[in-house]
Amino acid sequence: MSGNLNSAFVLVKDEKSIGWSSGINAGVVFAAVLSVLADHSEKASMIKTLLRDYANKRAMYSEMFSLDDCKGTSFYDEIIKGLKQNKEIKSQAEEYFSWAEKIGKSRIDHIVSNKHRRAYERAAQVLGSLAEVLLVLGQKSKAAKILHAYYSEKYNRFSAFRKEVKSVVKGSDLLRNSDFLN
């Protein structure tokens, strides 16, 4: 992840959409791909949050700890620095986005349809990150469509998940001023 996104992508492209907290972390690559596609936009706050969370948290003896409290440079900072130095990444943008969309939607579906309530926030963050990258890419109608599909259609009876989606939208600089959920 020191800028060689393609190598990291090859390692995780066949990973499942679940279990992102341990092993080879598809979550870090998922968020890194979205960050690259969004050109590391400061307004894509949900993508930044997701990448920072996955990059700076490690599972250890079944306990989670965060590196955010440690002094010095974080994994997140190093990943972003490496990704910004590699200008060839965009050549595979379509393949990366296709994978990110597929694994992201699968992750949302797995979490919500199996009623993993403690993970609804993570599912909503994945959904918000996908919508943010679409907005940065100028695809407002696709961003609205994906939010509407999960919020108003597919999981319209899951009030706890809908609450998390609302929270993500309100917490995102890109999504906050939109009328996606009205």
pLDDT tens figures, 121-133: 999 999 999 999 9
- The pTM of this model reads 0.85
Strands (E), the chain: 57-60, 63-66
What would the DSSP string read from start to end of 1-61? --S-HHHHHHHHTT--SS-TTSSS-HHHHHHHHHHHHTTT-TT-HHHHHHHHHHHHEEEET
Q: Three-state SS for 114?
A: coil
Closest residue by Cα to residue 134 from 1, 26, 34: 34
Report yes or no: 169 and 180 within 8 Å, Cβ to Cβ. yes
pLDDT tens series, the chain, 182 aa = 556 777 777 777 777 666 665 555 788 889 999 999 999 999 999 999 999 988 877 544 344 445 445 555 678 888 888 888 776 666 788 888 999 999 999 999 999 999 999 999 999 999 999 999 999 999 999 999 999 999 999 999 999 999 999 999 999 989 987 777 66
DSSP letter (8 states) at residue 119: G
User: Which token pair is 10?
Assistant: 């090859």
Residue corresponding to tokens 């920072």: 52
